[in-house]
């Protein structure tokens, strides 16, 4: 899922960079391209790093292990800073190369300017990473005693995904509107982010201000590594404090059934781990955005491809695919980690635990998918049978893959992880789930194309509802004590 999400975002960024550069060059404002792209790239790096930098630089997962090894604090911080740099350099390459290449072709830049561009690309991440690391450290220290500090990362990251889609949409209009927006942003960035103006001055006009860009980038990054390296142990210890000393007050007790209690526990566990949330929520966000886009542009799409309305059956298949490539249930067992023994010792049937974990997937998946499919039915002039199947097919595939995901995780558990990322992103179950989702979607498409759209979706819907019952029956026979 993570790779799929990165590919989508990467394609969007390439299109954004290319179209922005083309619009500015065609409108005679090519000198704004370097500062605009560098500024936007720096903002993206800052926003994507600020809530991760603190945990990466001073993360508790490896602190206790590393502190006992004969490594200098400076080397630990340097290695982690290099990791941040390498991750963000990918963003720089994706955004800057298409845009700067377009700029170079349209303006016939000199060899010296070309060298300055290449050198600048590798220096761009340093300043925004440094600023994000400082603010991220302050935020980590300030929220160290909070029980739910991870929720802030989840909310901000989700908002960033929506923001990226909105920005890409704004920059997908006609060239005149695009150039107006780009000119405004370029002027603002040059005024409020001096490194962008310094970089552009050197590339466009051969100004010595480029030396300020180079020197400032290297100096601020070096100071960060030196200072954080010097006080690494003290900072790490301070950021790992937890809320203590709060007086416990017994509130009113309320009886509830076993299944509901387990579901509440699983729901809280899901949103407590922001890595788990971010790697399983992107598909559902894309579904909602797709539904909104179809609602707004559905009639326009129909007028444009009216003769292809017979291919509307592809829409529920696409929504179902997005909802099932990384369901939370595929990592629901592994995410327990070292706490798995607690569930193993609980005096309740294992199938109730399974149902509670699956309900988390169904609650999020069905809510987002039903919402998107209803918007789709409103936005496109579909027949009644196609409307029904547009809603039922995604529901069926979500139910099937929710139970299949946890079945695969039981067969391929990963409980000895040190970082939640390993439990969520790695393992044969993750790869198999992605392949199954693709095969099911492809099979539905083949049946719809070669047989009949209504018949194809109907057959797949019935098969997946039946498969859900079969997989749950298999799960009911599994002994929890056999899972290690």
pLDDT digits (tens, 9 = 90+) for 26-47: 777 788 888 888 888 888 888 7
Cα radius of gyration (the chain): 26
Residue, of 224 and 191, whose pLDDT is higher? 224
- Over residues 146-154, the mean pLDDT reads 56
Flag whether pLDDT at 175 surpasses 50: no
- Report the chain's mean pLDDT, rounded to a whole number: 79
Share of the chain above pLDDT 90, in %: 19
Task: Give the separation between CA 83 and CA 306, rounded to whole angstroms.
Answer: 49
- Residues 1 and 278: their CA atoms lie apart, in Å, by 10
Q: What is the mean pLDDT of residues 270-275?
A: 75
Q: Is the pLDDT of residue 214 over 50?
A: yes
- 381-409: average pLDDT: 91
Could you tell me the pLDDT band of residue 108, with boundaries at 50, 70 and 90? confident
Residues 367 and 372: their CA atoms lie apart, in Å, by 9
Q: Are 333 and 410 in contact (CB under 8 A)?
A: yes
Contact (CB, 8 A) for 35 and 99 = no
C-alpha span between 226 and 22 (Å, rounded): 41
Confidence of residue 244 (pLDDT cuts 50, 70, 90): very low
In the predicted structure, residue 170 carries a pLDDT above the cut 70? no
pLDDT at 10 over 50: yes
The answer, yes or no, to whether residue 176 has pLDDT greater than 70, is no
Tell me the pLDDT tens digit for each residue of 326-385: 888 888 888 888 888 888 888 888 888 899 899 999 999 999 999 999 988 888 888 899
For residues 17 and 172, the answer to whether their CB atoms sit within 8 Å is: no
pLDDT in tens, 434-474: 888 889 999 998 998 888 888 889 999 999 999 999 999 99
- pLDDT tops 60 at residue 291: yes
Reported as a single tens digit per residue, the pLDDT across 294-332 is: 887 766 666 655 555 556 788 889 888 888 888 888 888
**Global pTM value:** 0.65
Does the pLDDT of residue 167 top 60, yes or no?
no
- ∠ CA 278-283-287, rounded to 5°: 135
Dist CA 181 CA 29 (whole Å):
12
pLDDT at 222 over 90: yes
CA dist 372 and 476 (Å) reads 32
Query: 399: pLDDT confidence band, cut at 50, 70 and 90?
Result: very high
CB 275 within 8 A of CB 424: yes
Range name among 198-202, 258-262, 427-431 with the lowest pLDDT average: 258-262
Q: What is the pLDDT of residue 51?
A: 67
More confident residue, 310 or 68: 68
Q: What is the rounded average pLDDT of the residues 193-216?
A: 89
Is residue 24 pLDDT above 60, yes or no? yes
Q: What is the pLDDT of residue 36?
A: 84
More confident residue, 187 or 284: 284
pLDDT > 70? residue 70: no
* pLDDT value for 211: 93
């Amino acid at each position: 899922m993570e790779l799929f999400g990165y590919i989508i975002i990467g394609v969007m960024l390439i299109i954004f960079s290319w179209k922005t550069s083309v619009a500015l060059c065609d409108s005679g404002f090519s000198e704004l391209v370097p500062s605009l792209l560098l500024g936007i790239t720096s903002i993206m790096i800052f926003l994507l790093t600020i809530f991760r930098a603190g945990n990466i630089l001073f993360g508790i997962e490896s602190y206790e292990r590393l502190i006992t090894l004969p490594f200098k604090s400076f080397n630990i911080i340097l290695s982690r800073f290099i990791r941040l740099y390498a991750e963000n350099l990918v963003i720089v390459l994706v955004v800057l190369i298409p845009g700067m290449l377009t700029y170079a072709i349209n303006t016939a830049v000199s060899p010296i300017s070309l060298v300055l561009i290449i050198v600048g690309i590798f220096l761009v991440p340093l300043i925004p990473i440094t600023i994000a690391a400082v603010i991220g450290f302050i935020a980590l220290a300030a929220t160290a005693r909070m029980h739910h500090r991870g929720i802030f990362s989840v909310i901000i990251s989700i908002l960033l995904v929506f923001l990226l889609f909105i920005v890409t949409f704004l920059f997908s209009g006609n060239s005149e509107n695009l150039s107006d927006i780009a000119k405004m942003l370029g002027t603002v960035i040059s005024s409020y982010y001096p490194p962008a103006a310094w970089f552009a001055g050197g590339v466009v006009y051969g100004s010595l201000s480029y030396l300020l860009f180079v020197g400032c980038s290297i100096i601020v990054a070096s100071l960060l590594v030196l200072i954080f390296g010097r006080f690494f142990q003290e900072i790490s210890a301070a950021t790992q404090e937890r809320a203590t000393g709060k007086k416990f007050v017994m509130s009113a007790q309320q009886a509830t059934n076993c299944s509901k209690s387990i579901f509440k526990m699983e729901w809280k566990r899901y949103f407590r781990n922001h890595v788990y949330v971010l790697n399983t929520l992107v598909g559902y966000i894309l579904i909602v955005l797709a539904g909104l886009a179809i609602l707004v542009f559905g009639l326009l799409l129909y007028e444009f491809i009216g003769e292809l309305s017979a291919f509307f059956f592809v829409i529920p298949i696409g929504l179902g695919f997005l909802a099932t490539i990384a369901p939370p249930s595929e990592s629901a067992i592994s995410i327990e980690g070292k706490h798995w023994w607690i569930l193993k010792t609980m005096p309740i049937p294992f199938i109730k635990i399974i149902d509670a974990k699956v309900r988390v997937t169904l609650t999020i998946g069905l809510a987002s998918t039903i919402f998107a499919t209803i918007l789709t039915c409103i936005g496109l002039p579909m027949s009644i049978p196609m409307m029904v199947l547009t809603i039922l097919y995604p529901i069926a595939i979500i139910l099937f893959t929710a139970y299949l995901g946890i079945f695969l995780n039981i067969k391929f558990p990963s409980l000895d992880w040190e970082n939640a990322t390993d439990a969520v992103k790695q393992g044969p179950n993750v790869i198999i789930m992605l392949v199954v989702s693709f095969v099911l979607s492809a099979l539905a498409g083949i049946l719809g194309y070669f047989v009949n759209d209504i018949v194809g979706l109907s057959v797949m819907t019935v098969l997946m509802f039946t498969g859900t019952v079969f997989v749950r029956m298999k799960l009911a026979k599994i002994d929890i004590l056999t899972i290690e």
